[in-house]
């Protein structure tokens, strides 16, 4: 079975500091991996995705993530945090089934950005 673990339900950084949100997955087959962002009382917005090919994936708003198969990780980073980055972030892995595809989500990491 495939699953996703996000380490740290809350992360706090100073504005301008590095953002690092951790995600580890378990999968018996090569995974498709995603990061989503959610602002309060809104839906989820896709930040970036890894399917195949280049292991360093760039997304919107200056975020990027690196797929490391040996570590079964897909951590999300941003070099310099901005106040507008404060939100909840979800890592997800897709499960391919005979009936279609399903996303399994981590429990989320709330990012706080302080002045």
Partner 1 sequence: DGGITQSPKYLFRKEGQNVTLSCEQNLNHDAMYWYRQDPGQGLRLIYYSQIVNDFQKGDIAEGYSVSREKKESFPLTVTSAQKNPTAFYLCASSMARGPYEQYFGPGTRLTVT
Q: Which residues contact partner 1 (rule: CB under 8 A)?
A: 9, 32, 34, 36, 41-46, 49, 51, 90, 94, 96, 99-103, 105-108
Residue 115 is classified by DSSP as -
Largest CA-CA distance found in the chain, in angstroms, rounded: 49
Nearer to partner 1, 63 or 90 (CB): 90
**In the bound complex, what is the minimum distance in angstroms from residue 15's beta carbon to partner 1?**
26
**In the bound complex, what is the minimum distance in angstroms from residue 32's beta carbon to partner 1?**
5
Nearer to partner 1, 1 or 115 (CB): 1
Structure tokens at 4: 């996703």
Nearer to partner 1, 70 or 99 (CB): 99
Helix H or strand E encompassing 44: strand 44-50
Q: Which residue has the tokens 């995705």?
A: 49
Residue 33 β-bridge partners = 50, 93
Helices (H), the chain: none
In angstroms, the CA 99 to CA 106 distance is 22
Nearer to partner 1, 53 or 115 (CB): 53
**In the bound complex, what is the minimum distance in angstroms from residue 45's beta carbon to partner 1?**
7
């Amino acid at each position: 079975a495939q699953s996703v673990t996000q380490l740290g339900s809350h992360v706090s950084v100073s504005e301008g500091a590095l953002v690092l949100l951790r995600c580890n997955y378990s999968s018996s087959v090569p995974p498709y991996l995603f990061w989503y962002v959610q602002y309060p009382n809104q839906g989820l917005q896709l930040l970036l995705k890894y399917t195949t090919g280049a292991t360093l994936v760039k997304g919107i708003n200056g975020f990027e993530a690196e797929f490391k198969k040996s570590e079964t990780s897909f951590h999300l980073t941003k070099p310099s945090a901005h106040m507008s980055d404060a939100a909840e972030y979800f890592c997800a892995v897709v499960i391919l089934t005979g009936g279609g595809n399903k996303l399994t989500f981590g429990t989320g990491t709330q990012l706080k950005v302080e002045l």
